[in-house]
Structure 1
Amino acid sequence: MEIIAIEYRFTLADGSQEVFLLELDAHTLELLVERPEKLPGWTNLTFHQCPHCRVTQAQHPYCPLAANIADIVMRFDHLISYDRVHLDVITQERVTSQDTTAQQGVSSLLGLVIANSGCPYTAFFKPMARFHLPLATVQETIFRAVSIYLISQYFLKQEGQPADFELQGLKEIYENIHLVNRAMANRLRSICHSDLPANAVILLDVYTKAFPFTIEKILKNLRCLFAPFLQDIRYLALVE
């Protein structure tokens, strides 16, 4: 099995470290992890369950998303959101290092894990996890999300299926993710001593809530980058 490994290494203010090695199946992008035999009660499926949840207790007695982030949540429950950390994200291709807040760093880690958590609503973000960009900005996130969505529509068209180039399906994906984030933040608020775990999810949700309202503006601002394609259609013939 080909494996994609991504390591998140947090160095805290006291010099201690929290290290998370995530391994993904390179073909399915499933998260390869051994869950403990007993998970905390707050990971039960029905505990602050998402209002639009498509998972049944017969399938999963535990919320797949909660089960996959439980270790991260418990290991950071002693920090507050604006504690300073040094973050190194190590992949086969590169190392990304930055001094940042615990909230920013944990939010980036959660975004990666949530995409591969097994939640039906987050599965659409698996390609983004494959090309993970730590600590991405709103503009970077929208650029990547739109690009990956349009690639998926290209493949649908190749298979003779209707393709959505108006991004309506992408907006629906983000609307569903907003409900997931909101329910997960409520779940974490009810059990955590620190504000960090819930706020890390809320930070992800800032991007999610902003998406339907900012996408047109951000795409308009990005239009100038594609001037070579737009100024003269003959350019496309030259590169064929």
Structure 2
Amino acid sequence: MRYQFRFQDGRKWRHNVELQPQEEDRGPSPLPLWTRLDFHQCMHCPLSPESTPNCPYAALLVAPVEMLAQSPSYEQVEVEVRSRGRETRQSTSMQRGLGSLVGAIGATSDCPHMRLLKAMAWFHLPFSGSDETLYRVFGTYLLGQYLRGQRGLSADWSMGGLREAYRNLRLVNLGMTNRLRATMVEDSGPNGMILLDLLAADTLYSLDQYEGELDRYFTTFFE
């Protein structure tokens, strides 16, 4: 998948998100100090600096951070996303465009707490809203449980595992926000992460206290 940002001064910047990143896709060598695992490491990170010197999520953010760090979150940009033979364009703020990009990057990283999002990354939906995110999260998780059952594995139909995963995801977003704040001049990177956290928080709330947000789309199922 490819993201292209077109700035108001005519500049363009492209970034490819590899759905199955290879070693050469994990950033330049040597990686900057802020990608070190122990630099503002997430409080619940199961990795150790001895075995994993660099945060696998942060390592994939080096190019976006270097290019976009000087752009304030409110700057208007044209974003074009090409994925699976489709093209999506939107005029939006740097914050929202960067939030969509880093969300895709995180889902393809080797961060242990992002593993659940890998399936969603294959069917990435740029700039998705709350209802769209909730639909994709529920659908992806439940399909995954069905496929587990088809293989004779236990299935989590109560979605308790999904709740735990999204609690962990919120902590990852917090950790990455702290990491980016410590290294960036402008606020577009941290604000992009905050946008992701708002979506994660909204999804977690719906998991814990579902109030029929998606019911109107499924009326035929209730007949």
Q: Which TM-score band (shorter chain)?
A: over 0.9
Q: Which amino acid aligns with 2:88?
A: T
RMSD: 1.5
Percent identity of paired positions between Structure 1 and Structure 2 = 37
1:161 is displaced (CA, Å) by 2.4
Say whether the 8 Å CA contact 2:163–2:208 is kept in structure 1. no
* Structure 1 residue 19 corresponds to structure 2 residue 14: yes
Give the equivalent residue in structure 2 for 1:83.
Answer: 75
1:167 is displaced (CA, Å) by 1.5
Taking the TM superposition and a 5 Å limit, the aligned residue runs for 1:208-223 are 208-215=200-207, 220-223=212-215
Say whether the 8 Å CA contact 2:26–2:60 is kept in structure 1. no
Q: Tell me the number of residue pairs that the alignment of Structure 1 and Structure 2 aligns.
A: 221
1:67 is displaced (CA, Å) by 0.7
Give the equivalent residue in structure 2 for 1:8.
Answer: 3
Instruction: State how far apart, in whole Å, the 1-side matches of 2:143 and 2:177 are.
Output: 31
1:97-128 deviation line (CA, Å, top 9, x unaligned): 11000000011000000011110100110111
1:71 is displaced (CA, Å) by 1.2
1:38 is displaced (CA, Å) by 0.8
* Structure 1 residue 124 corresponds to structure 2 residue 147: no
Give the equivalent residue in structure 2 for 1:115.
Answer: 107
Say whether the 8 Å CA contact 1:45–1:63 is kept in structure 2. yes
Q: Which amino acid aligns with 1:198?
A: P
Say whether the 8 Å CA contact 1:139–1:218 is kept in structure 2. no
Aligned mate of 1:101, from 93, 105, 108: 93
Q: Which amino acid aligns with 2:74?
A: Y
Give the equivalent residue in structure 2 for 1:230.
Answer: 222
1:218 is displaced (CA, Å) by 6.1
Give the equivalent residue in structure 1 for 2:126.
Answer: 134
Instruction: State how far apart, in whole Å, the 2-side matches of 1:218 and 1:9 are.
Output: 36
Q: Which amino acid aligns with 1:78?
A: Q
Aligned mate of 1:157, from 149, 155, 158: 149
Say whether the 8 Å CA contact 2:18–2:108 is kept in structure 1. no
Say whether the 8 Å CA contact 2:104–2:121 is kept in structure 1. yes
Instruction: State how far apart, in whole Å, the 1-side matches of 2:196 and 2:210 are.
Output: 18
* Higher radius of gyration, 1 or 2: 1
Instruction: State how far apart, in whole Å, the 1-side matches of 2:159 and 2:93 are.
Output: 33
Q: Which amino acid aligns with 2:43?
A: P
Note the residue ranges of structure 1 that are not aligned, 5 or more in a row.
1-5, 25-29, 232-240
1:70 is displaced (CA, Å) by 1.5
